[in-house]
Chains A and B, each alone.
Chain A
Amino acid sequence: MDEARRPPRSFGRELGREERIRAMDKAGVRKGPIDLPFFLLVLLLLGIGVIMVLSASFASAYYDVGRVTGGNPTHYFLHQAVFALSGVAIMLLVSRLPTALFSRLSYWSMLVALFLLLMVLFIGVEGGGAYRWISLFGITTFQPSELAKAAVVLCFAKMICEKKEQMQTFRHGILPFVMLLGVISLLLSQQPHLSAMVIILGIGVIMMYLGGAHWAWFAGGLGGMAAGSYILMTQFPHASMRLIAWQDPLQDPLGIGWQIIQSQLAIGSGGLLGVGLGQSRQKYLYLPEEHNDYIFAIVAEELGFIGGVLILSLFAILILRGFWIAMHAKTKYAALIAAGMTGLLALQVFLNVGVVTNLLPPTGISLPFFSYGGTALWLQLACMGVVLSVSREIPVKRAG
């Protein structure tokens, strides 16, 4: 090549690396690299998840159960892949944002979430007898409850940081949080959307626990939540039916018990090594929601106990790493949002796999990175971006 046309090698290198770090420290905007283990674990789980969507949805897409695929067996897979790729971009974009920005947007996010939760009751799209979705330009749909989950994390973290020592009191440490959760729950109950309510109450309690609420209140709240969920279960007719089905799926083998039975048959068929990737038999229209809420049953059937435990281990390591990032965060707010987002992830994984393996009563909670669903995946990856953003601000130990 022509030597003369090259830019001078010294361009942009006036400052050495040390100097730049020092300069950024001074400005308070110094950014380290994202936490690579966390990032790679997310990518790994996402990659496995998208492949499993292909495998799990292949039969139902071919037979066009939902009348949307036109018989194209890769329909769901292609959609999910597009959302996954764009979701990774969103995650990286969010990870570039400073945590201070999240802090400033915390209350706004809650206001937007509450507004949308209200709006969905009027302009929501009906699905399975409930109004949980808002149409986005007629292209795709979006659940405001997903946004509300993240908003609870951000908003509660901000409130905790502002209350400081007052968190020990009932008036400041408990009441505002419980009231806010109550409003959200009320709105969700109108959709109705039981599973989102469970998650939001769960993450709310986790945030309050992290915020330093007295353990006695926490213990009382846990009891209250248990009582509340009992009342909800008995009052929501479809919830109480699910309880019955959970206890004895054979009582109603063709109704609600069907998916519980079919899920167990799928998982049980897997055995130690699984029937092999793509070889699931239960996905041939036996197991409903096989690429959504019950995708883990197909994973367990195809990849076996070893594959299932491996994927659960990846989730466990990701969650441990998320909490690790929180523990090393630069500010209290950053620590709270990192722990909150990780807790949200952990809660969803536990509740989903618990339901699929019939450890818990059935509710429609999706498995992060696996379950089919575009906007939900975007939000999950954005939340992971928040954790990565926190990880970038971890002070690096300097030699000397």
Chain B
Amino acid sequence: MERGRKRITGTRTQLWRRTMVLMAVFGVFTFILLGAQLFSLQILQHHELEQRAIAQQMREITVSANRGTIFDANGAILAQSASVENVFIDPNTIYRLEQDGALIARNLAAILDVDEQMILARMQDRDSQFQTIRSRIDRDLADEVRAFIAEHEIRGVHLEPAVLRYFPHGRTASHVLGFVGADGTGMGYGVEGSFDRYLTGVNGRIVRLTNARGGAMLRASYENYYLAQPGHDLHLTIDVNIQRIMERHMNQAVYDFDLQAGGFALAMQPQTGAILGMVSLNDYDPNNHGRLSPERMDALRQQYPDNDEAFWGAVMRELEYSWRNKNIGYSYEPGSTFKMLTLAIALEEGIISPDSDRIFYCGGHMDVPGREDPVHCWNRNGHGPLTLTQVMQRSCNIGTVMLAMEIGPDLFFQYLQAFGLFETTGIDLSGEMMGLVWSEADWNSFIGYGNFSSLAAASFGQTFTLTPIRMVTLTSALVNGGYILVPYIGERVVAQDGTVVREGERVVRRQVISRETSEWVRHFMESTVADPLWGTGSNAAVPGFRIGGKTGTSVDTVLEALTGRTEYVLSFVGVAPMDSPEIVLLVALQSPGPNNTTYPSGGQMAAPLAGRMLAEILPYLGVASQLGDEERVNAQVPYVRRQTVEEARAELIAEGFRVLIQGDGEIAGRRVVDQMPAGGAIVMVGTEVILFLEGARPEGEVTVPDVTGLRYQEARAVLEARGLYASRSGAAANHNAIVVYSQSRQPTEVVRRGTVIELTLIDISR
């Protein structure tokens, strides 16, 4: 027993020792290692690891700031950010909480007008917590979705606020406005682009801890909000009414003249540089700027039936073309509209006196040093002898070249620089480019070789291009006293609290001609429109307004390079009123097509169009009609009772009335016993006044006829046939679109003969 015990103890001693070793190793040593590793991670590297962990757990959610509203000059809204909502589902929650997926899909599909199968398919992604079903729905639809969620106590269908940029006027002023991208910021087009930093505001942020899938942690242990600051509002100088007038006439011109390449029209206040209207016909709907019309898509698809890459390339090119604002991003040869500049230089430099009686002889062509073939006038037969006024009225190339040759190339080039052909205007729109002009070195080397060809061509606006905005800016300088202004379109930038952050104002770059020269240029421009026989711009005349302008017909070299055909630009630059210009209007039409029947010239196409625009814009701008005597509409009938027939007739005719004498027998020397209409009545000029001699009296009553809808001449004739008289109010201009809108005495009313009916006229072409 004692021995056995000892033996066991002996072996136990080794086991006991080795167990002790294991105790030391596994009970102490390994734990020291683990503790040290914990110490390293949790104490020594704590800060670094915690930062990295927070970096992955922290998510920033951007709360987009409301983008500022864009207003026109009258406060009409042109672009506005609307609060909309996005609908999304949380498939994980729907699956986990055993929601009725079929019910959800059926109802959402019905409310949101989307494919039910699409919803069911997205619901299958059960790991996901975020699947968008439809973006940017309005408040009403969102409320329907909310009602559905509430009614069925649905979990896993959510709405989130989003922002939609809405352009309530659609295509109107689309190039002025530009558009915003999917992220709600301006895309470098229009004022949405150039005023983006004002409109955008400062986005807010929500910082919070999230799970690895981006969802919220069950316990939001940390959340912080930074409020969004809404963007500033932008008020434009553009007036939507003027813009609409211009767009309507331009679109009509595209139809009338079958314009293949559209056109552009630009109106500016020449004293300040404020842009009043800007039309570029290649327009688009900023609400849908990324989509072509279905017809165009079909047409392009037929063009590239099998080539997807080419098809989408063409779609993209067409879209990009539609976004381009021709007024600042396109250049053309101004043609004869540029002759006024040559004239202005000649006047300013004293080459010719404005009232000079010098005669320019136009033989239809002229030799120019450096040119093999002579320079031709547009009138190949030659205009013959012309005064300076006639050179401008008839847009004679030869007379203009003569002036330019006398000015000389150096001086002429200096003026081109002064008028800004070698710089951008600095308008507050993004995307402005410069025209294609000679470098100074090229110009000088031509001249150095004795080649005056460029000078000759430049004098009537050929062999170089400029942008429409530059053309309008330099024409403004010609008529505003000589000031090159910086055009602007942003009238005011106003913060939400009402502070004006930025204001558009008259900025003078430089004065290029004197006030006197400017006055004379206005005189010559007016004569070009006012002379109904010889003035090339006479089609732009509007009765009652002093309008000046210059026509231009030139080859669209830019377009020609693309199509390989001769492409024309028909333009007119107009100014009104001439005593104190309120508007400079450039109208240009590009490439009349095969269906056009009008003679393609600036005078035949662009000038009448500009005239129609001005006839509507000028009264809208509050420019008073300055009709001459022959153009008056109403006049007061003089009192001619008891006068002799001769005296009465002479006075009435002098005042513009016609005279009908009623009475028996010899009339000479007899006295007037009554007149109709009565003295003091206001009636239309040209009304026939009946003079009654002794023995004849106006008698009886008549029924008032209905003359509404008639042209005013017809209405007057109808009334006079019944012994009634008309006076007119309302639209001032005299053309066929002016009709009677209402009459002061109602039809079927019985009145005394000789009563004056007041007619209100309107212009139905508006």
Contact = CB atoms under 8 A, between A and B. Distances in A.
Interface of A: 58-59, 62-64, 67, 70-71, 73, 164, 206, 209-210, 212, 264-272, 279, 281-282, 284-286, 300, 304-305, 308-309, 312-313, 315-316, 319-320, 323-324, 326-327, 332, 335-336, 339, 342-343, 346-347, 349-350, 353-354, 357-359
Given A265-B52, A270-B42, A300-B41, 13 more contacts: A63-B96, A210-B15, A212-B14, A264-B45, A272-B46, A281-B217, A282-B53, A284-B218, A285-B211, A312-B31, A315-B31, A320-B28, A335-B15
A228 B221 CA distance: 48
A343 B11 CA distance: 20
Ranked 9 nearest A-B pairs via Cβ: A268-B49, A71-B96, A346-B26, A284-B211, A285-B212, A265-B53, A305-B42, A320-B27, A357-B37
B15 A354 contact: no
B15 A350 contact: no
Contact of A272 (B43, B45, B57): B43
15 contacts: A63-B96, A63-B213, A164-B11, A206-B22, A212-B11, A212-B15, A282-B57, A320-B27, A323-B22, A332-B11, A335-B15, A342-B26, A350-B31, A350-B33, A359-B37
B34 A312 contact: yes
B46 A268 contact: yes
Interface in B223-279: none
* Contact residues on B (Cβ < 8 Å of other chain), bracket: 35 or more
B12 interface: yes
B99 to A, nearest CB: 11
B290 to A, nearest CB: 35
Contacts of B16: 327
B621 interface: no
A115 B235 CA distance: 87
Contacts of B97: 71
B56 interface: yes
A35 to B, nearest CB: 15
B679 interface: no
Contacts of A284: 57, 209-212, 217-218
Contacts of B50: 268-269, 271
Interface in B204-222: 209-213, 215, 217-219, 221
Contacts, number: 168
Contacts of A339: 15, 19, 22
Contact of A347 (B26, B48, B211): B26
A357 B18 contact: no
Contact of B49 (A267, A315, A359): A267
A159 B30 CA distance: 28
B39 interface: yes
Contact of A350 (B30, B45, B54): B30
Contacts of B35: 309, 312
A281 B53 contact: yes
Given A284-B212, A332-B12, A264 B49 contact: yes
Contacts of A305: 38-39, 42-43
Contacts of A312: 31, 34-35, 38
A42 to B, nearest CB: 16
A342 B22 CA distance: 10
B92 interface: yes
Nearest to A350: B30
Contact of B213 (A285, A304, A336, A358): A285
Contacts of B57: 281-282, 284, 286
A64 B97 CA distance: 11
B56 A323 contact: no
A304 B8 CA distance: 47
B618 to A, nearest CB: 70
Contacts of B19: 210, 323, 326-327, 335, 339
A267 B42 contact: yes
A268 B48 contact: yes
Contacts of A285: 211-213
B49 A269 contact: yes
Contacts of A272: 42-43, 46
A164 B688 CA distance: 151
Given A59-B211, A315-B31, A308 B42 contact: yes
A260 B52 CA distance: 14
Given A71-B97, A264-B49, A335-B15, A320 B34 contact: no
Contacts of B38: 267, 300, 305, 308-309, 312, 357
Nearest to A212: B14
Interface in B52-76: 52-54, 56-57
A154 B355 CA distance: 130
A281 B52 CA distance: 12
A327 B27 contact: no
Contacts of A281: 53, 57, 209, 217, 221
B22 A210 contact: yes
A144 to B, nearest CB: 25
Contacts of A70: 96
Contact of A316 (B28, B48, B218, B221): B28
B43 A323 contact: no
A343 B20 CA distance: 12
Contact of A343 (B14, B22, B33): B22
Nearest to A71: B96
B737 interface: no
A319 B95 CA distance: 45
Contacts of B11: 164, 212, 332
B624 interface: no
Which residue among B42, B46, B212, B219 has the maximum number of chain A CB atoms within 10 Å of its CB? B42
Nearest to B8: A332
Nearest to A338: B19
B234 to A, nearest CB: 44
Contacts of A271: 42-43, 46, 50
A268 B42 contact: yes
Contacts of B39: 305
Nearest to A353: B34
B26 A319 contact: yes
A163 to B, nearest CB: 11
A308 B27 CA distance: 16
A327 B24 CA distance: 13
A264 B31 CA distance: 18
B359 interface: no
B610 to A, nearest CB: 67
Contact of A265 (B12, B33, B34, B56): B56
Nearest to B95: A64
A80 B95 CA distance: 25
B218 A58 contact: yes
B92 to A, nearest CB: 7
Contact of B27 (A73, A346, A359): A346
Which residue among A284, A316, A320, A354 has the maximum number of chain B CB atoms within 10 Å of its CB? A284
B684 to A, nearest CB: 86
B28 to A, nearest CB: 7
Contact of B30 (A327, A335, A346): A346
A108 to B, nearest CB: 24
A339 B27 CA distance: 12
Contact of A358 (B37, B52, B209): B37
A73 B211 CA distance: 15
A164 B49 CA distance: 53
B764 interface: no
B49 to A, nearest CB: 2
B40 to A, nearest CB: 8
A267 B41 contact: yes
Contacts of B507: none
Interface in B361-416: none
B27 A316 contact: yes
Nearest to A281: B57
A266 B42 CA distance: 9
A323 B23 contact: yes
Contacts of A313: 31
A59 B209 CA distance: 14
A213 B630 CA distance: 136
